[in-house]
Structure formats: structure tokens, C-alpha cells
């Protein structure tokens, strides 16, 4: 029986402020000078400052100037993550899986930040291999010869991903911020998943104990049908710590087609 497991691994801002400026008020001088007196002249007005002088937008102007002074910074960093897919999630697509996925990963980040916004381009590698073992197709009965499980062997089954994330930081104090965002990318599949037919004893209840590979089956070490790429849907939450101005350390978790948690660090120039 051919088991399709491709679907098992396919599990899947901010308001801008508007500042209004009030038009300056105009003062009107009374003309009390005698027209016949040539020495009578309009008094020289003394310039006034601040709100009294009509500069109601001084504060908004200062704030806008401060924002304009913030320059973009560019950084490079590394990420250390663990990806996971619980067994029960895989069993949304198959009747029984050999195990879930829990594997470490390593990646590189290129980032741009300005103020509280970060744009992060990430490249990452992880293994996606569960344990080798028997997998039973959805709604299949291992006691029916045509529906027996397949023995799956994961031969360096992994992926390399590239994703672009849009991240925002909400300050908690001078060094610590709450970090959140989302992004999209693509994952290129590496390795193979090899399928071999099995045979099971009558009255099978536990396919791990009661089934064995069938060397004379229709498929023996046959590569499973898997897409060459997977979409990467990226959702991130976490904390960012800036021990010094140019260095950030991020504790993060989220979902990037598969669940993940880990650390990343960036140095900015």
C-alpha cells in the first residue's frame, strides 16, 4: 500500500500616528498715533516664542525631527532553534505515525532595523526526520492485506529554508523589548523517505509489535511521494535583550510551518 505523507509536514500593523498642527494666531496692533505728528510711528514688535508666539506645533516638530534623526542599521547574526511536530499533529493526516519530530537547527540572519521595526532575512537548516517505523494510512485496517502499514525509513530527510520576517519591538524598559511579527518563505526538501510494504499477524492491535516488513512486497525501499518544496509560514513572538547598543539577543518561539523555539543574536553596524 502506498502511503502519502506529504501533507503531514505541511502544517501551517500597526497604526501610524498623525500629528496636526494649528495655524499660528495673528495679533492686531491698535493705531493710536496722530497722523499730523511725524514723530508718531508704529512701535516695533518684539518677536515672541513658544505658544505665546503662535508656535503651537513646536512639540510636534521636535518629535518629527527626532524620528527623522533615527537612522537605519544593518546587522548579521546566527540563530539556534529546535523544530518540533508532535505525534498527534502528524496523526491528523495518518492513522498512526512512528513518532513526532524534535530536531535542532542552525541558521544565519541578515537584518535591517530602524527604530522599533526590524526586517530579518533568515536561512536555516533542520532535520525533519521522525523515528523509522511503521506508518498506517488514514482509516486503514492493518488486518486487511491491502491496508497494512508501510515501514518508513527517513534517509537524511531535512530542509533548508529562506524566509523574510517583519518584526516589531515594544519596549518594556531600556534594554528589554517584547518582539513579535510574521513572515513568509520557502523550504527546499533534502533526503528521502523510503517505503516498504509490511505484513501483519492476524488480529493485529499494535502495528509496532505485530507487523514486519515484507521483502517480497510490491514496494521495497521505494521513495515516498513528497513535494520538492514546502511553504514557510512564519509567526514569531519573544523577547529581545540589548546588553549594548549594537548587540541584540532574542529568545523566541512560534510557528514556521512547523513549531520552533530557540535563540538568535545579531550585531548591528
Task: Dump pLDDT digits (tens) for 198-250.
Answer: 999 999 999 999 999 999 999 999 999 999 999 999 999 999 999 999 999 99
Examine residue 115 and state whether it is found in any structural domain, yes or no: yes
H or E segment to which residue 267 belongs: strand 258-268
Tell me which residue range forms the domain holding 212: 75-268
Examine residue 48 and state whether it is found in any structural domain, yes or no: no
* 211-213 vs 229-244, strand pairing mode: unpaired
Q: Can you give the CATH number for the domain in which 247 is found?
A: 2.40.160.20
Residue 27 has pLDDT above 60, yes or no: no
Examine residue 182 and state whether it is found in any structural domain, yes or no: yes
Cα–Cα dist 253/180, whole Å: 10
Q: What is the pLDDT of residue 70?
A: 82
Q: What is the pLDDT of residue 44?
A: 52
Q: What is the pLDDT of residue 238?
A: 98
Examine residue 33 and state whether it is found in any structural domain, yes or no: no
pLDDT tens by residue, 131-181: 999 999 999 999 999 999 999 999 999 999 999 999 999 999 999 999 999
Residue 92 has pLDDT above 50, yes or no: yes
Examine residue 63 and state whether it is found in any structural domain, yes or no: no
Q: What is the pLDDT of residue 21?
A: 34
* Cβ contacts of 64 within 8 Å, gap of 6 or more: 19
Examine residue 44 and state whether it is found in any structural domain, yes or no: no
Residue 16 has pLDDT above 70, yes or no: no
Q: What is the pLDDT of residue 220?
A: 95
Examine residue 40 and state whether it is found in any structural domain, yes or no: no
Q: What is the mean pLDDT of residues 258-265?
A: 96
Whole-prediction pTM value?
0.72
Q: What is the mean pLDDT of residues 96-115?
A: 97
Judged by phi (left if over 0) then psi (alpha if -120 to 50, else beta), residue 135 lies in: beta
Amino acid at each position: 500500500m502506498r502511503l502519502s505523507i506529504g501533507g503531514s509536514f505541511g502544517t501551517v500593523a500597526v497604526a501610524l500616528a498623525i500629528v496636526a498642527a494649528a495655524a499660528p494666531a495673528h495679533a492686531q496692533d491698535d493705531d493710536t498715533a496722530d497722523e499730523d505728528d511725524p514723530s508718531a510711528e508704529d512701535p516695533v514688535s518684539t518677536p515672541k516664542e513658544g505658544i505665546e508666539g503662535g508656535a503651537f506645533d513646536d512639540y510636534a516638530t521636535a518629535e518629527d525631527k527626532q524620528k527623522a534623526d533615527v537612522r537605519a542599521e544593518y546587522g548579521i547574526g546566527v540563530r539556534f532553534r529546535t523544530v518540533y511536530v508532535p505525534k498527534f499533529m502528524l496523526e491528523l493526516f495518518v492513522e498512526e505515525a512512528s513518532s513526532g519530530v524534535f530536531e535542532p537547527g542552525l541558521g544565519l540572519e541578515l537584518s535591517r532595523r530602524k527604530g522599533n521595526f526590524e526586517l530579518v532575512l533568515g536561512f536555516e537548516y533542520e532535520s525533519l526526520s521522525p523515528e523509522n517505523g511503521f506508518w498506517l494510512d488514514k482509516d486503514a485496517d492493518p488486518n486487511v492485506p491491502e491496508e497494512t502499514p508501510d515501514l518508513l525509513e527517513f534517509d537524511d530527510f531535512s530542509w533548508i529554508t529562506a524566509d523574510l520576517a517583519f518584526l516589531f519591538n515594544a519596549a518594556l524598559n531600556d534594554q528589554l523589548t517584547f518582539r513579535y511579527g510574521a513572515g513568509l518563505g520557502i523550504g527546499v526538501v533534502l533526503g528521502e523517505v523510503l517505503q516498504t510494504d509490511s505484513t501483519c499477524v492476524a488480529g493485529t492491535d499494535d502495528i509496532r509489535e505485530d507487523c514486519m516488513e515484507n521483502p517480497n512486497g510490491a514496494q521495497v525501499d521505494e521513495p515516498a511521494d513528497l513535494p520538492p518544496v514546502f511553504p514557510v509560514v512564519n509567526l514569531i513572538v519573544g523577547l529581545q535583550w540589548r546588553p549594548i547598543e549594537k548587540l541584540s539577543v532574542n529568545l523566541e518561539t512560534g510557528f514556521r510551518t512547523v513549531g520552533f523555539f530557540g535563540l538568535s543574536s545579531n550585531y548591528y553596524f
